[in-house]
Amino acid sequence: METVSTNTAFGGVQGVYKHASKETGTQMTFSVFVPPHAEGAKLPVVWYLSGLTCTHANVTEKGEFRRACAELGLIFVAPDTSPRGEGVPDDAEGAYDFGLGAGFYVDATEEPFAKNYRMWSYVTEELPALVAAQFPADMARQSILGHSMGGHGALTIGLTYPDRYKAVSAFAPIVAPGIVPWGEKALPLYLGNDKAAWRRHDAVALIEDGARVDALLVDQGTADNFLEGQLKPKLLEQACKAAGIDLTLRMQEGYDHSYYFISSFMEDHLRWHAKRLG
């Protein structure tokens, strides 16, 4: 692991790091905030998954999470959203919603993407092992949240590993990618045309198929341009109601899809996570 930068913030350390990933076959960059803590202490870990076009830098620079993490004693980890580098395949037309910056947190099975686009295994296996080895992380206390495409990732990963992630939340998540344009474009290119293979990467479908968590927190802005066409939080609400999952869905009046929205409610989410992480 190579240190790109470190800065002191709220008594802790905000670092940016990179390493050679076996899963993606590329260099991967990620950020970690470690709050002030007693020597030898092990701290709970909050994973944050970013959305389309983003890198680790978006939330690191605009998420406004460090004050709350310092107070609550939370390590905050922000991976990239896709592999990057020379030779990594991208959208043929350079569109923003597929390829670089748009890994959708899946392990691709289709060529030419299968070699590099292994973001599911990277986020759930490889990077956690690195964080456990290099930082004062208590891996028995992990939680996960994300925004938009990252909200999709957080929900699907949290629903798949409910014993690992003690809290799951999202900002404006893609809750049913199997039936919205973003997912209808990305999932067949990454996973093939068999829609049955898409269901394990679709939060609503996972719940319909029996996946369960105790509770979910979702914030969604009412002025979000993607609300009706791509996000459809009411589908998640219906699925959770049918499954008996305690969903807190907060429709935030006047907020859009940006980090102005995310940063406004980040502290709420971190306090919700801290309560469940003990």
- Quick one: pLDDT at residue 240? 98
- Quick one: pLDDT at residue 263? 98
- Provide the pLDDT confidence category of residue 3 given band limits of 50, 70 and 90: very high
User: Catalytic positions, please?
Assistant: 148, 224, 257
For 110, 214, 221, 241, the CA distances from 259, given in Å and listed in that order, are 33, 27, 11, 29
Structure confidence by residue, pLDDT tens digits, 77-101: 999 999 999 999 999 899 999 999 9
- Quick one: pLDDT at residue 78? 98
pTM to 2 decimals?
A: 0.97
Share of the chain above pLDDT 90, in %: 99
Angle subtended at Cα 12 by Cα 126 and Cα 130, rounded to the nearest 5 degrees: 10
**Residues 160 and 206 sit within 8 Å (Cβ to Cβ):** yes
**Residues 145 and 47 sit within 8 Å (Cβ to Cβ):** yes
CA-based nearest residue to 100, from 78, 115, 116: 116
Helix ranges restricted to H, the chain: 56-62, 66-72, 119-121, 127-134, 149-160, 181-191, 203-208, 233-243, 259-277
Question: What average pLDDT score do residues 221-246 get?
Answer: 98
Residue whose structure tokens are 């993606």: 24
CA-based nearest residue to 200, from 185, 210, 215, 186: 210
Q: CB within 8 A of 102, min separation 6: which ones?
A: 52, 53, 81, 82, 91, 96, 149, 186
Structure confidence by residue, pLDDT tens digits, 119-159: 999 999 999 999 999 999 999 999 999 999 999 999 999 99
